Amino acid sequence: MKHIRERFAVLSSALALSLAAIAGQPVNINSANAETLSESLDGIGKNKAHAIVAYRNQHGPFQHADQLVNVKGIGIATVDRNRDFILLSSDKKVANK
């Protein structure tokens, strides 16, 4: 029984670390390049990250996080999942908190 508890503890720790790696990290969507966006935001791969940069270049800086839904392929669920990590300026304030 002791071995089962030890294995469970190891698996639980590994799962917690894996989930932390999946979670996003703060990123300024108005200045970050596509690579940084894709590495920082959950559900944003390279294609969507390039679409964010292209949209920003065409329409100017994002005024709030919800504007990301105007980028093809990004829905409100993706924005909501990343809301705590989306920055709009160089300060550490998070968008739409």
- What domains can you pick out in the chain, each with its CATH number? 24-97 (1.10.150.280)
Q: What is the pLDDT of residue 9?
A: 62
Using alpha carbons, list the distances in angstroms from residue 33 to 27, 40, 41, 46, 76: 10, 11, 12, 10, 21
Residues of the chain with pLDDT under 70: 1, 3, 8-23, 90-97
Q: What is the pLDDT of residue 22?
A: 52
Q: What is the pLDDT of residue 61?
A: 98
Query: What is the rounded CA–CA span in Å between residue 29 and residue 11?
Result: 35
Q: What is the pLDDT of residue 59?
A: 98
Q: What is the pLDDT of residue 19?
A: 44
Q: What is the pLDDT of residue 18?
A: 42
pTM listed for this prediction? 0.71
